[in-house]
Chains A and B, each alone.
Chain A
């Protein structure tokens, strides 16, 4: 029973807290509230996931209106897992945020920053939890609008153009999605996802259904930054405030990919998708994304932009797994969703620490910094090794699964691409490591820091500890895969079950 209430509390709690934070003018209280809200949400999401991991489904009817007329929150293993990722990363980010935000955001904007952060968090959570496709769109907009604001708060003025670019493309994507939803509604007369999945196959007007499908997929693909719709991502991630790039890189695209999975496998069905061109397209785009993203990452001269392009590549792996349309492939995608969130968050946290100390994370300014910050550097190396997919880290687990899935389907070119992707990852990761460790130290060019400031001298404990928690979990979940693997497997089983997970 309690789990039912949890599902709505997860959304309501940040929703209540956000406006309160906005009117507080003490930044430390704003931070403390954000942290406690996110931690509460993390606890609730763990609780909720433990309730659905066995395959049962939680239903919550908003306002007591019975679905399909009212909005329904519907939690199965799949969204339980994604919600856990979002909450976990949000809590880690909040723990990390305090000092970094104090440094990067003007003092009077800090409460607003945390307010926007919570709104973004709430939007992403809402997307995960809701069972109503229009409600999903609303949350999509909530999270997008707040993330535009968050990105625009970056100190570099390029953050404004990056944010604007994202806004244009994001709105385009959301509009496509909305039109798609509208058409699907026109064809079936319902907005409830479970209901849609029953009625779509019976719909008379197949043109309408097909068009809706195409629009929804393109809209979501834009949000998920699937190659070639990834253009907004590199700038948005590299010019946003550190805390924002940590949070968004680890959650925003993941949630969009969750929506894609939900729409393909639940709203529409595996049989429907099989008969379209989409699976081949996803596999090819995934393969191209892996190669293109890694190549571009190699060519970058700034740490954050390199990580952003590496995200494009990593999203390619997930898309590829979805494209296989098999249980193994989808499991691999879901595991990678989880694993990539861990490692990318850790890497962006390391970048955030460099920015905290050196005020920038471009290669020419962080030369030799790894020797000065051995702990940060070591944690970064662990996360970077997972990015390559060295055995014993999370990256290996997902790559191994994906390779299995590719072999099962005899997709030899993809097997080669996955391996080549790892090799390219070695190159860009090592480029970073060499810059940080082997390049001779130069006099750090520090700007915007008051003289005698302590920042340059030491890294804040809270930031370093959070980074290490994530780095160690990269190893822990690489060896003990019980949580990620079992949950992903059970989620996939439900999706592939005969009735598509319907009641």
Chain B
């Protein structure tokens, strides 16, 4: 099959799956089988596209052209390919996990859950393959809207309030700032095409580059750069597979992916370096990394702490983009994949704890590791990968990011501050993440907590094991992500 056919199938297959799933309310077993089949075949198709890409078969599809020169078009390049691989493989894992979780936790409206999940994945695929900024923006909004009912899944007062924050921040920032940025780029350059080396060079007056770039950094609220981060902790009310999808796979990664795309293919790293825009804008992700880590330490709710950890980790990627040199961008791009596998392990473990122990507070987990060794081992692996310790994949992205900070061309003070931030943040990671499994394994079980805990249902365990193992594999063999990230940042 040709690349374009495969791309269209990749975007339509989840939608078709959603349609079938939504009809199967009465037959939960068949419904879940369909979910697994759909996600597995999506992964197969994405791999097929990957093969086409490595053979150099790149095609462009134009769906429609609402405005002169602005088309809804799709094509494939390395960065999008990497994101598609991450998203589709983790969808499969999440689907397996969700079966165990949703049933054990007796969630309502499971059919709606699986159907909307599939729709969100379709939107993610379209974001991966977006060929211009307009298409990216279009499906960015579709993703916001399709994940909204997942956040408000339980439908109670708390979920409603969170949904309001979720939508308010994400849509507010995208319409108020992101759209304005897109509009300005179009106004100055008359083009929204993703082009190697950017399109703005010489077309946008130099003093405009920093403000417009700032509009993108803040307007892409899914990247959760402070002060646009509030939606992420608020979205914690969602069921755990949703958190996994939001925090590791779809939504946040779509945000940083969009920032990387804008940096690489709209502005061009060279233009950003020349304009000096990143010299002061880079303080935004830098402060986010530190502040979010500090806030995370104060949170006792496990999922909330993970959410703040995500905010901090996302800013690594934004930081990598803003370094605007080859090492930094490579590290940032790699971190999309590395963080995804690490963080999804953490969330799955947190979900398993919730399902079996019904505990959400970290302070109550002391000694539980001895009751649930498997779950907490997964948690430990995820933690170590996020911290960036060998032998786990997370090390590579941090390694290249650190190299990138050394190459940073801005003021010396900023350069050292950047390197210092990365080091300090790793320490903070240990303080707020590693402490959890350590206490669980070696802490004392509190009185009255002598419960007969057992591990989570089998599908949950299978779903948890896979990303944890991948974390390990990625250290020894970080392919195909390394070569894809390399290719995406090669033009530098």
Interface residues of A (CB under 8 A from B): 385, 388-392, 397, 400-401, 403-404, 407-408, 415, 419-420, 422-423, 426, 430, 434, 438, 478-481, 485
Contact = CB atoms under 8 A, between A and B. Distances in A.
Contact of B66 (A404, A423, A480): A480
A434 B160 contact: yes
Contacts of A408: 187
B167 A430 contact: yes
Given A390-B141, A419-B179, A438-B160, A478 B187 contact: no
Nearest to A390: B141
A407 B184 CA distance: 8
Given A391-B134, A408-B187, 14 more contacts: A390-B141, A390-B145, A391-B138, A392-B138, A397-B67, A400-B67, A400-B183, A419-B175, A420-B176, A422-B176, A423-B176, A438-B152, A480-B66, A481-B66
B171 interface: yes
Contacts of A385: 145
B168 interface: yes
12 contacts: A388-B171, A391-B134, A401-B67, A404-B187, A407-B183, A408-B187, A415-B183, A419-B175, A423-B175, A426-B168, A434-B164, A438-B152
Nearest to A479: B64
Contacts of A485: 66-67
Interface of B: 63-64, 66-67, 72, 134, 137-138, 141-142, 145, 152, 155, 160, 164, 167-168, 171-172, 175-176, 179-180, 183-184, 186-187
B180 A415 contact: yes
A422 B175 contact: yes
B67 A481 contact: yes
B64 A404 contact: no
A392 B72 CA distance: 9
Contacts of A397: 66-67
A423 B168 CA distance: 9
A95 B457 CA distance: 54
Contacts of B66: 397, 478-481, 485
A479 B72 CA distance: 8
A485 B66 CA distance: 9
A-B interface, 10 closest residue pairs, ranked by CB to CB distance from nearest: A391-B138, A479-B64, A481-B66, A407-B187, A422-B175, A438-B160, A403-B183, A419-B176, A392-B138, A390-B141
Interface of B is mostly: helix
A391 B176 contact: no
B226 to A, nearest CB: 20
Contacts of B171: 388, 423, 426
Interface centre among A391, A423, A481, A485 (most CB of B within 10 A): A391
B74 to A, nearest CB: 14
A403 B72 CA distance: 19
B415 to A, nearest CB: 36
A480 B66 CA distance: 5
Contacts of A403: 183
Nearest to A381: B145
Nearest to A415: B180
Given A400-B67, A434-B160, A480-B66, A423 B183 contact: no
A400 B67 CA distance: 9
Contacts of A479: 63-64, 66, 72
Contact of A438 (B137, B155, B179): B155
A381 to B, nearest CB: 9
A480 B134 CA distance: 15
A385 B183 CA distance: 20
A391 B137 contact: yes
A310 B165 CA distance: 23
A476 to B, nearest CB: 10
A441 to B, nearest CB: 11
Given A479-B72, A481-B66, A392 B176 contact: no
A148 B275 CA distance: 62
Given A390-B145, A434-B160, A426 B187 contact: no
Given A426-B168, A479-B72, A419 B187 contact: no
A403 B182 CA distance: 11
A480 B145 CA distance: 22
A430 B152 CA distance: 13
Given A391-B141, A392-B138, A438-B155, A426 B175 contact: yes
B151 to A, nearest CB: 12
A434 to B, nearest CB: 7
A392 B183 contact: no
A485 B65 CA distance: 11
A392 B180 contact: no
A183 B39 CA distance: 73
A419 B63 CA distance: 27
A392 B184 CA distance: 19
A438 B155 CA distance: 6
A422 B64 CA distance: 24
Contact of B172 (A389, A390, A423): A423
Nearest to B156: A438
A385 B145 CA distance: 10
Nearest to A394: B66
Contacts of B186: 404
A251 B64 CA distance: 29
Given A415-B180, A430-B167, A480-B66, A392 B141 contact: yes
Nearest to A439: B160
B155 A480 contact: no
A280 B163 CA distance: 40
Nearest to A426: B171
Contacts of B179: 419
A430 B168 CA distance: 9
B139 to A, nearest CB: 9
Nearest to B144: A390
Given A419-B180, A438-B155, A480-B64, A392 B172 contact: no
A390 B183 CA distance: 14
A415 B171 CA distance: 17
Interface centre among B66, B145, B164, B187 (most CB of A within 10 A): B66
Nearest to B66: A481
A430 B164 contact: yes
Contacts of B180: 415, 419
A283 to B, nearest CB: 18
Contacts of B145: 385, 390
A407 B91 CA distance: 42
Contacts of B155: 438
B30 to A, nearest CB: 22
Interface centre among B145, B175, B184 (most CB of A within 10 A): B175
Contacts of A420: 176
A26 B184 CA distance: 59
Interface centre among B72, B183, B187 (most CB of A within 10 A): B183
A490 to B, nearest CB: 14
Nearest to B159: A438
A499 to B, nearest CB: 26
Contacts of B152: 438
Contacts of B183: 400, 403-404, 407, 415
A346 to B, nearest CB: 17
Contacts of B134: 391
A408 B190 CA distance: 12
Contacts of B142: 392
Contacts of A389: 175
A326 to B, nearest CB: 14
Contacts of A419: 175-176, 179-180
A28 to B, nearest CB: 36
A162 to B, nearest CB: 33
A426 B67 CA distance: 24
A97 to B, nearest CB: 32
A478 B141 CA distance: 14
A426 B164 CA distance: 10
Contacts of A434: 160, 164
